[in-house]
Structure formats: C-alpha cells, structure tokens
Structure 1
Amino acid sequence: MCSEGAFLCQHLPGDVTPGELERLLWVVVALALIADVVTTFVGLNLGLSESNPAARGAIEDHGLAGMLALKAFAVTVGLVCRPLLERPYRPIVPAGLAVPWLVAAALNTYMISAVV
C-alpha cells in the first residue's frame, strides 16, 4: 500500500493491473449473465417461479427479450456510472454486476437439482 497525495494505492497480487482486473471481471459479467439467464429459463420450464419481481414482470410480459433487456439496462447503468469512479476503483462495477448474477445462477442450479 502506498500514499499518493490524499489517495491510497493498493497493488494487486502478482502483476495484475486494475485495468487487467477490470477486463477479466467484464468477462465474468458476461458468463454470469449467461448462466443466470439459462438457469432461470431452465427452472421456469421445470415449473419453478422467478422470485425477483422485476425479472418476473419482464419475463411475463416479454419473455427472453424482457429478461435480456433488464440485464442490458443493468449493464448500461454500470457503464454510465463507471467513469464516476477513480480508475483504480473501476473494477468494482463489473464485480457488482457479476456477484449477484453468479449467486442467482448458483441458487437456480440448486433449485433445479432439487426438482430433477
């Protein structure tokens, strides 16, 4: 850890830069998004229900397109807010998108395994 003026700097393990970490996390966002959407629709086809009211409404009204629009909106909000952060802290944006979607995909997988 170092101090540059009023900001604290942290070096990541190894030679990973914040920019490289952010790029990696955007890949994780894409994979998490796909995992969440696929497991959601597999679960719905097995008779499970969507517990997120916003997603449930989007799916009921517009199906897969509604779900993808909801995800696209979330990614857009992240991309619009990203420049508001100092460069070293920008990886928090994709992490903030990926973590809930990974948790949702894991819960969906658990629920699917319970009914299969």
Structure 2
Amino acid sequence: MSDTVSPSNIEASRVTGTNVYNRAGETLGEIYDVVIGKRDGRVKYAIMSFGGFLGIGEEYHPLPWDQLEYDERQGGYVVDLDRDRLEGAPRYARNERPDWDDREYGRRVDDFYGSPLLPASV
C-alpha cells in the first residue's frame, strides 16, 4: 500500500495533530481528536486543542466538521474564527468529557458556529 493520501480522503489517525489556522493564517491549535457518529459513520466534530503549555491549561474546542476547510498550501485546516471569538466558543477542560449524546450540547456548538444541526446518529 502507498504511504500517500488521496486528495479527498484521509485516515483519522493522520488528522490528529494537524494544525488549525484562521483566515489570517494564524495558528489557533491542532486537531486533538474527531467525533464520529456511531451509526451513520459521519464525522461530526473535530476537537481542537488550544492553549496551555505541555498539556497544562489546555482546552478543547469542538468544531463542526463542516466549518473546516483543508488548505494544501498550509498543510492544515482553516476555520473562519479569530482568537477573540475562540475565547467565547464552547470548550471543555482536559479532565472533562462532553456528553456527545446530549443534543442540546451539540445544538449549542452548532449554533455558535452557524452550522446546521446534524441528524442524531441514535
């Protein structure tokens, strides 16, 4: 098998660690994980790690997958979000875990970014 990635598909393990930039080219963080619907297999959110030093004080921001655009030139994902707006975005601490089955939590995240709420993968 080839070690190359097709232009439109990528393994989840290769997404982890990829930088996330804003439209101004500033690095906001990196992809820590992805949330996938158990039943429909669709990627719902990319979890971006932000801030902290050596994992201390790091926060995680769920970004609706449809808000990310891959930029080949930068080798990372671009989101229409500046640092000030990111400060007010839904997030959780390293020692927390959101309830991904809570539709209200998903609605808050999606509303913040202006994404349509994806159907539940119940």
Relative to the length of structure 2, the TM-score reads 0.25
When Rg is computed on C-alpha atoms for both structures, the one with the higher figure is: 1
Structure number with greater CO (CA < 8 Å, separation at least 6) is: 1
Q: Which has the higher strand share?
A: 2
TM-score (norm 1): 0.25
Bigger helix share? 1
